[in-house]
Chain A
């Protein structure tokens, strides 16, 4: 039982490159979230999903896209990376109606 896993753990991109971060969960949770963590700012919600085939914008969605084609996977895409997207990205899941969120180990992304 792996819980929430994220791939990759680290990545360095050049400005303008694209990439996809994968979040996978084996807990059968309906809700999934993508956050970014920046120093002194805590975690901020990028996008979220309330179930397979659904996605919606969070607080800081610009420059990101997401897809949830399968219940267990939530993908975060950067179409044209910018240095401002250098951050640590966390995926989290939640089982309705609980409010508790379970976090993955994070992906550290650097855009040069």
Chain B
């Protein structure tokens, strides 16, 4: 079955430190992958997406992610974290169905705390 795993439930980093959030997927075909961010009390905002091509994708707010097919991973990175990055981060994969509705399968999320 298709699934997305985010191994880290909580991560705490110091402001200015680098960040890597892990995401592993299980999917039989070429995946279409997303990272979303959810600030407290807010909806989900798209950070970046991977459909094909260059395996290193750039997103908003200084985030990037690298697709590694051999490791079934799509890890999110940021070189220097800001206090405003404290939020919950979700990795998702598109599940393609013949019916065409193409739902998103989400990981459980990683909650990021940033220490000053």
Contact residues of A with B, CB < 8 Å? 4, 31, 33, 40-45, 48, 50, 56, 58-59, 90, 92, 94, 96, 99-106
Contacts and interface: CB of A to CB of B under 8 A. Distances in A.
A100 B101 contact: no
Interface of B: 4, 9, 32, 34, 36, 42-46, 49, 51, 90, 92, 94, 99-104, 106-109
Given A42-B108, A105-B42, A99 B51 contact: yes
A100 B90 contact: no
Contact of B43 (A48, A56, A103): A103
Contact of A33 (B42, B46, B92, B103): B103
Contacts of B109: 40, 42
B21 to A, nearest CB: 14
A40 B100 contact: no
B43 A50 contact: no
B101 A48 contact: yes
A60 B91 CA distance: 20
Nearest to B51: A99
Contacts of A92: 44, 104
Contact of B106 (A43, A48, A58, A104): A43
